Amino acid sequence: MKWLACRNLTGPIAMLFKVALQSLLNRRMTVLLTVLSIAISIFVLLGVEHVRKEARESFGRTVSGVDLIVGARTSQLNLLLYSVFRIGNATNNITWQSYQTLAANKAVAWAIPISLGDSHRGYRVMGTSKDYFRHFRYGSQSPLVFNSGQAFDAVFDVVLGAEVAKKLNYKIGQQLVLSHGLGKTSFTKHDDKPFQVVGILEATGTPVDQTLHVSLAGIEAIHIDWQNGVQRPSMKISAEQALQHDLTPKNITAFMLGLNSKMATFRLQRAINDYRYEPLVAILPGVALAELWQMMSTMEKVLLLVSLLVLLASLIGMATMLLASMRERYPEISVLRAIGARPWFIFTLIELEALLISVAGIAVALSALTLSVAQLQDYLGEHYGLFISRDFYSADVGFLLLLVLIATFTIALIPAINAYRRSVGANRHNS
């Protein structure tokens, strides 16, 4: 009896699907355009959602493996921006003695000093030590890799980020001159102390690509005959003469710390924040990045809202298409009623057609998104620092697709109810 009941049930369902598919095929051009419209809107919706999530994670992976960033007392966002993203300026410098004291703390595994303030044709120059190339990580704990050359060794050596080398067409062995200050066009240049390119890094998709890296001694050498930001003409020192001086830095801008144990992070952070010899602040990069991203959450919501509106417009267009086709389908509905189709069959037929159109749109959108992510993954990572995963299927995506189907069913109620009333009216007229 159960088998017979199932058979009796599957008969009308199979017929329903057959009629719905045949009806859609009869209007294939209109249906195809509607499917493409819905597919584009779903592609935009899922694409924006995936890029939003991956951008947040990629943003957080601009620097990885760094437990603390230390700078002169300021807001944690300002410290994060100028030390990691090379945006803005430090409120003050840190004495070299304080850096050495804190770097020698038994909880510290390694330290990377950072000295900022100079530029080259609009790109930032960062003074640091060779530990930078050994310990700095980005992405998922990815180390810096040299495309050609090696780390700086001599005082007037410079290592270029990938974008700097590409945009300015620099090669190993070329010489360049640094400029004082951060302006794109500077009239104050350290042209008496040129640097030689000894290394070019692989692209990372982070601010590293837009940075020129020199030694701390190199930063000291080009400023050895400067005082208070101004060169002293009466005390001009050549590059050769500068090498004879003590080039130990007096100040640095900030430094990064990697600790032996994560358990010591908060204890050392408090110790640095309470450092009595000068006002310092230590921040956790992950916390600061989360705060920075929180400030951008409004833009995320706007993008999501626009995507939803595009999808809504496509679904309304589908409902309009179904309504517009109803006049042409009155003979079809009459025939179905004449062969015994009940009004609920007509209602379900219209809803099924709408759902089939949406399912087809979803399939096209998912295929297009999978292909797009696979093709653009490396390009986005290299040029924009967006490390996008190919796996965008998640519970959130499933929830969004479920909402699409629910919205489709809801909006399709308009033509479905219209068809239902027509079929009921036709039945009464025949009676």
105 and 31 both lie in a single domain: no
Domain membership flag for residue 97: yes
Mean pLDDT of 72-84: 90
pLDDT tens digits, one per residue of 136-192 = 998 778 899 999 999 999 999 999 999 899 989 999 999 999 987 765 555 578 888
127 and 258 both lie in a single domain: yes
pLDDT tens digits, one per residue of 231-241 = 666 677 888 88
Domain membership flag for residue 289: no
pLDDT tens digits, one per residue of 213-230 = 999 999 999 988 766 656
What DSSP letter does each residue of 207-251 carry, written as one string? GGGGEEEEEHHHHHHHTTTEETTEE-GGG---HHHHTTS----SE
What is the rounded distance in angstroms from the CA atom of residue 423 to the CA atom of residue 415? 12
335 and 410 both lie in a single domain: yes
Whether the pLDDT of residue 340 is over 80: the answer is no
Out of 260, 283, 306, pick the residue that ends a domain: 283
431 vs 155: which has the higher pLDDT: 155
247 and 263 both lie in a single domain: yes
Asked if residues 46 and 373 have their Cβ atoms less than 8 Å apart, the reply is: no
Whether the pLDDT of residue 10 is over 60: the answer is no
Q: Which of the four pLDDT bands, split at 50, 70 and 90, describes residue 381?
A: low
Domain membership flag for residue 175: yes
187 and 101 both lie in a single domain: yes
380 and 351 both lie in a single domain: yes
Cα–Cα distance list, 21 to 177, 178, 320, 321, 356 (Å): 70, 69, 19, 16, 8
What does the longest C-alpha to C-alpha distance in the chain come to? Answer: 112
Mean pLDDT of 379-405: 73
How high is the mean pLDDT of the chain?
Answer: 82
- State residue 20's pLDDT score: 73
92 vs 389: which has the higher pLDDT: 92
Asked if residues 67 and 73 have their Cβ atoms less than 8 Å apart, the reply is: no
Spell out a b/e string for 44-71, using b for 16 or more CB atoms within 10 Å of the CB, else e. Answer: bbbbbbbbbbbbbebbebbbebbbbbbb
Domain membership flag for residue 331: yes
235 and 102 both lie in a single domain: yes
Domain membership flag for residue 2: no
160 and 247 both lie in a single domain: yes
DSSP annotation of 203: P
Helix (H), strand (E), coil (C) string for 383-423:
HHCCCCCCCCCCHHHHHHHHHHHHHHHHHCHHHHHHHHHHH
What is the four-CA torsion angle of 295, 296, 300, 306, rounded to 10 degrees? 110
Whether the pLDDT of residue 337 is over 70: the answer is no
378 vs 70: which has the higher pLDDT: 70
pLDDT tens digits, one per residue of 86-123 = 888 888 999 999 999 999 999 999 999 999 989 998 89
Domain membership flag for residue 78: yes
- State residue 427's pLDDT score: 52
Coil, helix or strand at residue 176: strand
**Which domain, by its residues, includes 251?**
68-283
140 and 248 both lie in a single domain: yes
- State residue 3's pLDDT score: 33
pLDDT tens digits, one per residue of 24-69 = 787 788 888 888 888 888 888 888 777 777 777 767 678 888 999 9
